[in-house]
Chains A and B, each alone.
Chain A
Amino acid sequence: MNKFIFGQYLPGTTLIYRLNPLLKLITAVLLIIASFVNHSWIGFVILLVICGLLIRMSKVGWKFFLKGTKFFIYIILLTSIIQVLFSKGGQVYWHWGIFTISSFGIHIATLAFFRFLIAIVVLTIYLMTTDPADIAQTIQGICYPLKFVGVNLDDIGLVAAIGLRFVPTLTDEVTNIKNAQKARGIDFQKQSIFSRIKSSVAIFVPLFMNVFRRAEQLASSMILRGYTDGKKRTHLRQLKWSKFDSLALIGVMIGFCGFILIFCI
């Protein structure tokens, strides 16, 4: 199995899983907005505590969570180190050639680090605790305004559902193709740009051939199961908006507005 777990759905039954996916998406977006407009340290502490509580509530386990986001945390850390070294302004602590460590740079970089950290944590929790089929229906719900320009919403939902369903399959397929081509003697480790271009041709051609074959199989099995034009589709799993969801939404909204009022104005 692939070690890469960013955005991989983990089935579970805790409270977070039972919430309406649209509510979860709204909450996630609001949390990210809050972290991007926030400028104070107490605000970040509060947001980090909220993130910690969410990880705790989802019961995915800290170790597993860290393993999944480690790669991105390194990148974010690297980004902020670069910002520290190249920003100028405020009190200068250290100076060598083009590198400068200043109070302004440290401030900017820490802000950026916490912002991206919160964003990645929130998005990972959302993707880990939401079934891809529910995400597809949520996308369909978000695209509702497009209905008035004559787009069939059920088509969007279906495309999103099939697309999300095939992400793990295609990931495995890419790994398989890569291994098969390695066995034939293609080197993916070479550093020069042109040898990398050559080796990616060896992945792309079989991948697309397989994709077109798969699409034909998928289409024929859809037609055989009675798919005609996708109008008036019914769903096996109906998404329900419960009273608890409304209460939670009100709570989230109040929390968000309060946060913005206290820390951002």
Chain B
Amino acid sequence: MLRKSKAYRISILALFIAIIMVQNFVPLFGYIPVGPLSLTTIHITVIIAAVMLGPLDGGIVGGVWGLLSFIRAFTAPTSPVEPLIFTNPLISILPRILIGVVAGYVFIALTKTKIKPVLSLVITAVVGSLTNALLVLGMIAIFYRTPAVAHAYGVSDPSLITKVLMATVGTNSIPETILAAIVVPLICLPLLKHRQAKTK
């Protein structure tokens, strides 16, 4: 009963947002700096929110992350590239909202099939992480073929930026995706079982 009440929905949503804020502003917890970009762990929180609370709340949690990284790009950058890129709301906010929405709907679609829960959680995590990675890097490729960003990545020629972005997919997005694929099932599986046991 408790888990169906509005009070529960509000408090769990608020706590997820609090986790996002902690991850954004406590150094070395939400972001692990590796080279010019930083490896993030925040998408895991968003994917878990999307799986446990649905696409709408997942989108809200993702939106809070986007908004915070937008504000942070102006005020408290963690890496040299950040102020150049994330000051554009299309790069900082939109992909993050979509992680929650996409992951939420993918999980709902997968629960209707006969795929085992573990596997469907892994797929959801991978799809969610890739949504973020591809949209952010794709948007960077579209908007920022300028010398300043290329220099921050350590390239002198702007046309090389696409190659650098491909390298970023390798160094950042793949570890991020693997991390999500490991952590999301570990956390969501017991919680989902717990929830099913209570509603029966």
Give the chain A neighbours of B151 by CB distance below 8 A.
82-83, 86-87
B14 touches A158 (CB 8 A): yes
- B22 beta carbon closer than 8 Å to chain A: yes
CB distance from A125 to the nearest CB of B (A): 12
CA distance A7 to B77 in the complex (A): 15
CA distance A196 to B179 in the complex (A): 10
Contact among B12, B25, B78 for A215, CB-based, below 8 A: B12
Give the chain B neighbours of A201 by CB distance below 8 A.
179, 182-183, 186
B80 touches A174 (CB 8 A): no
Given contacts A194-B175, A200-B41, contact A7 B25 (CB under 8 A): yes
CA distance A132 to B22 in the complex (A): 15
Given contacts A171-B22, A197-B179, contact A32 B74 (CB under 8 A): yes
| A182-224 interface with B by 8 A CB criterion | 193-194, 196-197, 200-201, 203-205, 207-209, 211-212, 214-216, 218-220, 222-223
B15 touches A166 (CB 8 A): yes
User: Which one of B27-35, B89-97, B113-121, B160-168 is at the interface?
Assistant: B27-35
Contact among A72, A174, A230 for B76, CB-based, below 8 A: A72
Interface size class of A (residues with CB under 8 A): 35 or more
Smallest Cβ-Cβ distance to A117: which chain B residue: B75
Given contacts A116-B83, A204-B183, contact A174 B29 (CB under 8 A): yes
Given contacts A167-B22, A216-B2, contact A223 B80 (CB under 8 A): no
B187 touches A204 (CB 8 A): yes
Give the chain A neighbours of B5 by CB distance below 8 A.
219, 223
- A159 beta carbon closer than 8 Å to chain B: yes
A229 touches B18 (CB 8 A): no
Given contacts A72-B76, A174-B26, contact A159 B14 (CB under 8 A): yes
Give the chain B neighbours of A86 by CB distance below 8 A.
151-152, 154, 156
Contact among B3, B74, B186 for A205, CB-based, below 8 A: B186
Smallest Cβ-Cβ distance to A214: which chain B residue: B15
Given contacts A71-B27, A219-B2, contact A163 B14 (CB under 8 A): yes
- B142 beta carbon closer than 8 Å to chain A: no
Chain B interface mostly: helix
Smallest Cβ-Cβ distance to A118: which chain B residue: B75
Given contacts A216-B8, A219-B8, contact A116 B75 (CB under 8 A): yes
CA distance A219 to B19 in the complex (A): 17
Contact among B21, B83, B152, B175 for A163, CB-based, below 8 A: B21
A116 touches B22 (CB 8 A): no
| A98-115 interface with B by 8 A CB criterion | 98, 108, 112
- B127 beta carbon closer than 8 Å to chain A: no
Give the chain B neighbours of A166 by CB distance below 8 A.
14-15, 18
Give the chain B neighbours of A174 by CB distance below 8 A.
22, 26, 29
CB distance from B73 to the nearest CB of A (A): 10
Give the chain A neighbours of B178 by CB distance below 8 A.
197
Given contacts A162-B15, A205-B183, A215-B11, contact A72 B75 (CB under 8 A): yes
A223 touches B83 (CB 8 A): no
A6 touches B76 (CB 8 A): yes
- B148 beta carbon closer than 8 Å to chain A: yes
Smallest Cβ-Cβ distance to B77: which chain A residue: A75
Contact among A79, A120, A169, A227 for B75, CB-based, below 8 A: A120
A222 touches B26 (CB 8 A): no
Give the chain A neighbours of B19 by CB distance below 8 A.
170, 207, 211
- B48 beta carbon closer than 8 Å to chain A: yes
- A123 beta carbon closer than 8 Å to chain B: yes
- B109 beta carbon closer than 8 Å to chain A: no
Known pairs A87-B151, A163-B17, A216-B2. 6 more at Cβ < 8 A? A75-B76, A83-B152, A88-B147, A162-B11, A218-B15, A219-B7
Residues of B within 8 A of A (CB): 2-3, 5-8, 10-19, 21-22, 25-27, 29, 32, 34, 39, 41, 44, 48, 71, 74-80, 83, 147-148, 151-152, 154, 156, 175, 178-179, 182-183, 186-187, 191
10 CB contacts below 8 A, A to B, read: A71-B27, A72-B75, A83-B148, A116-B75, A159-B17, A167-B18, A197-B182, A200-B41, A212-B191, A215-B15
